[in-house]
Amino acid sequence: MPSFRAFGRQTLALARRELLLLVVVALLAGSLWAFIGVADEVVEGDTHAVDEAILLALRTPGDRSDPLGPGWVEELGRDATALGGVGVLTLITLASVAFLLLKRQRRAALFVAAAIASGIALSFALKSGFDRPRPDLVPHGSLVYTASFPSGHSMMAALVYLTLGALLARLQPQRRLKAFVLLLAVLLTVAVGVSRVYLGVHWPTDVLAGWAAGAAWATACWLVALWLQRRRTVESAEDAEP
């Protein structure tokens, strides 16, 4: 009887892993499909009217220089957009790498650093390739110095927060804690993207594409990490030294 129960537990665990793998692969495929779809529409110019309508809807009627809401809302938007800035994301990444190094997970730390650094390189490559101008309908509420498509803040927020969220979720024993960590990562990613449109520095489709590209890259990196962990090339959560 004990051997039968053990076999049942192993079978159930295998089924859960396979189901999780299918979900992750579907998420990767969906994110890539979303990015390609949005990019195709943007290149053809089919999204311009919708982009303009949404951008102007977030401005006070009769005064395009004034975002909707009181001053504190605009300040909150700048705070949210800073969460996707290079400085903040670099600090969070370095802190995460240092945390893994302190746990003696050196190869995992290297993998996280490489995944995020390559994501940054991909973001700049996509911006350079599409070279879409920034919105000129409204004054920008934040300093900008690169092309518009896809949104770098949105893409990097998705990449960093979703990657680290998935990593932290794997360390939590309870499902509700896993769900909380992942939900927090998603909320931070959404807040950054919405703030970019609210401040007038990105078209809405820039943000959608950034979210899709960032989610696809984070998912791909997560799949690679799982594969490397099973080959014992990268440490898993259970391999940490005390």
DSSP 15-80: HHHHHHHHHHHHHHHHHHHHHHHHHHHHHHTTTHHHHHHHHHHTEETTEEEEESS-HHHHHHHHHH
Q: Pick the closest to residue 100 from 89, 91, 112 (CA basis).
A: 112
241: CB partners within 8 A, 6+ apart: 103, 104
| Omega before residue 61 within 30° of 0, cis | no
Six-digit token pair at 93? 């990444």
Q: Pick the closest to residue 165 from 145, 193, 185 (CA basis).
A: 185
The pLDDT, as a whole number, for residue 173 is 67
Contact 200, 5 (CB under 8 A): no
The pLDDT, as a whole number, for residue 157 is 92
* Amino acid sitting at position 203: W
Question: Is the pLDDT confidence value at 241 over 60?
Answer: no
**Banded pLDDT at 134 (limits 50, 70, 90):** confident
159: CB partners within 8 A, 6+ apart: 115, 116, 119, 214, 217, 218
Question: Is the pLDDT confidence value at 13 over 60?
Answer: no
54: CB partners within 8 A, 6+ apart: 197, 204
The pLDDT, as a whole number, for residue 7 is 45
Instruction: Give the integer Cα–Cα distance in Å for 231 and 212.
Output: 29
The pLDDT, as a whole number, for residue 21 is 67
CA dihedral of 122, 125, 130, 135, whole degrees rounded to 10 = 80
Among 17-31, 60-74, 77-91, the range with the most confident prediction by mean pLDDT is: 77-91
Q: Note the pTM of the prediction, 2 decimals.
A: 0.84
The pLDDT, as a whole number, for residue 195 is 92
DSSP character at residue 136? -
**Banded pLDDT at 20 (limits 50, 70, 90):** low
Instruction: Give the integer Cα–Cα distance in Å for 119 and 213.
Output: 9
**Banded pLDDT at 235 (limits 50, 70, 90):** low
Burial of 186 (0-12, 13-18, 19+ CB in 10 A): middle
Among 56-70, 102-116, 164-178, 193-207, the range with the most confident prediction by mean pLDDT is: 193-207
DSSP character at residue 99? H
Contact 151, 132 (CB under 8 A): no
Q: Pick the closest to residue 78 from 208, 206, 191 (CA basis).
A: 191
Q: Which domain holds residue 93?
A: 2-239
Query: How many domains does the chain fold into?
Result: 1
**Banded pLDDT at 154 (limits 50, 70, 90):** very high
The pLDDT, as a whole number, for residue 1 is 46
Task: List, for residues 222-231, the tens digit of each pLDDT value.
Answer: 888 777 777 7
Question: Is the pLDDT confidence value at 99 over 80?
Answer: yes
